[in-house]
Amino acid sequence: MTITENRRSRAHVDGVLIALVFGMSLFGIVAVCVATYSPSSSPNASFLNRIFESSYATRQCLFLLVAPLVIGVIMAFPYDLLRRRAELFYWAAFILLAVTTVFNRATGVKAWLDTLWGYTIQPSEFAKLALILVIAKNMAKEEAPMGTLRSFTRLFLLVMIPGAVILLQGETGSLLVIIFMFAVMMYFGNVSLKTLAILATIAILGVLALYGFMVATGSTDYRLARIAGWLNPELYSSSDAYQQTMSKMTIGSGGLYGNGMFQSGAISQLNYVPADWTDFIYSTIGETWGFVGCVAVLVGYILILLRMLYLAWFTRDKFGRMVIIGVMGMLLFHVLENIAMTLGLMPITGIPLPFLSYGGSNMMTNMGGIGLVLNVTRNRSISASVNTPQTMYNPYRVHKHFKTKSV
């Protein structure tokens, strides 16, 4: 692979990625506003008034106003410090996860921590970014990561320790995101196919064993009920499969071009789809803007993901490349799983749709991921050495993989 010093590999703040992300986020505010449209609202009200009438749309606006600050702080953070102190972020996120698990008094899912003014945060969201940093650092140290038993064990435990805590919280969706994100980083990080096959086998056997144990013991866990509802939607259409059944009906009702915004009597307006402003926002999009709107959203996500892949391809330093790939993997699974579950193709997991679903923790995590990507592109250089006084060695071994020249 040959990378030359040109406009593709230069250090820069990527305006294309910023425009795509904020364009999608602005559309998300519109979608949340439509999903929470009240029948008591005046039919002649302006769009701005409709936003203020919806507490969810108003809060989403506030989250989006904070987003540039989050991106700016992370983008300005010293790049070398991100790499050298990745473990610090990792353990800080783990402690926050543990505190949430121990002190959360809720029954069932214990994934949220109360903060000021009635807001809550979801530490498992922030743990994703910390994991991206620590996995990227460890993969950058070796030419073939996980090639030894020690390396394999270290990376495996780094992922599974917080993963186990997240599973105890009842947040299966976040655990699946982490596993998928880790798999994508391993694939692009030069991990051998044999190692990938071993880990895939362990994951599949683990899921089957857990499912079999729950069935054998007669568990009434909500996750088992969701799987049963997904496998037999007709049998559970009025209970565990109700949300998914109504979602498919809502998307189908939109037809090719949709029924338009703020329509009295719309399925979303009558609240037939629970949480249609959060995890099931895609059903509102399907009803309002139809097949065309659904495809437009997919195209937007494809452009964002391809842009990140493009930026990773022209990033010389392996740590930075792995950070971009990790963020891309995180967003990719969110998109695939969320849209699939609204269409009945996957069980419900409570995974929000990036930049569109209502939610502060998820919005800040996604924007934080974009900040990490921009930090990498802003500090990358194929002419400067990656050696630092702090590391005193070349963990990326770039001289073995890259031939550079100035043009």
Is 74 contained in some domain? yes
406 lies in a domain?
A: no
Q: What is the rounded distance in angstroms from the CA atom of residue 326 to the CA atom of residue 373?
A: 10
Domain assignment present for 283: yes
Residues 387 and 372: their CA atoms lie apart, in Å, by: 21
Would residue 331 count as lying in a domain?
yes
CA–CA gap between residue 381 and residue 245 (Å, rounded):
51
Find, among 303, 321, 306, the residue nearest to 373 by Cα.
321
Enter the tokens of residue 367. 């924007």
275: confidence class by pLDDT, cuts 50, 70, 90: confident
The whole-number pLDDT of residue 50 equals 83
- CA distances to 86, 282, 311, 339, 364 from 300, in Å: 31, 13, 17, 14, 19
Q: pLDDT-based confidence at 42, cuts 50/70/90?
A: low
**Token couple for 82:** 């991100």
Asked which of 251-255, 264-268, 350-354 is least confident by mean pLDDT, the reply is 264-268
Segments in 77-143 forming alpha helices (H): 79-84, 86-103, 123-140
Question: Picking from 29-33, 230-234, 294-298, which range would have the lowest pLDDT averaged per residue?
Answer: 230-234
Helix 86-103 and helix 149-168, axial crossing angle in degrees, nearest 10: 30
The pLDDT of residue 209: 82
Residues comprising the chain, all counted: 407
Average pLDDT, the chain: 83
Distance CA 83, CA 320 (A): 9
Average pLDDT over residues 44-48: 77
**Which tokens in the block code for residue 124?**
């498992």
Note whether residue 8 is domain-resident: no
Give residue for tokens 């040109």: 6
Would you state the pLDDT for residue 396?
A: 41
134, 352, 120, 327: CA torsion to nearest 10: 20
Tokens 């064993």, residue located = 209
Q: Tell me which of 156-165, 263-272, 368-377 is least confident.
A: 263-272
- DSSP H/E element including 120: strand 120-121
7 in a domain, yes or no? no
How much is the pLDDT for 384? 41
Would you say residue 122 has pLDDT above 60?
yes
Confidence of residue 291 (pLDDT cuts 50, 70, 90): very high
Q: What is the pLDDT of residue 210?
A: 73
Spatial distance between the Cα atoms of 150 and 136, rounded to a whole number of angstroms? 17
Extract the tokens encoding 272.
């037939």
5 bridge partner residues: 406
Only one residue has tokens 């991106």, namely: 71
At residue 241, does pLDDT exceed 60?
yes
- Please state, in angstroms and rounded to a whole number, the distance separating the CA atoms of residues 330 and 88: 21
Range of the domain at 105: 15-383+390-400
The predicted pLDDT at position 399 comes to: 40
**pLDDT, tens digit (0-9, with 9 covering 90-100), for 388-400:** 333 334 444 444 3
- 132 in Cβ contact with 189 (< 8 Å): no
4 in a structural domain: no
Which residue would you say has higher pLDDT here, 339 or 107? 339
Count: domains in the chain = 1
Residue 344 lies in a domain: yes
Handedness of CA 247, 126, 397, 307 (dihedral sign): positive
Q: Is 158's pLDDT higher than 80?
A: yes
- Work out the average pLDDT over 230-252: 80
Mean pLDDT of 108-135: 78
SS3 of residue 304 by DSSP: helix
The whole-number pLDDT of residue 11 equals: 79
Least confident stretch, 93-97, 131-135, 342-346, 382-386: 382-386
> What are the Cα distances from residue 169, in Å, to 65, 162, 222, 327?
30, 11, 13, 23
Confidence of residue 67 (pLDDT cuts 50, 70, 90): very high
- Percent of the chain residues topping a pLDDT of 90: 40
Q: Where are the alpha helices (DSSP H) in 219-317?
A: 222-231, 242-253, 281-313
- Higher-pLDDT residue of 180 and 269 is 180
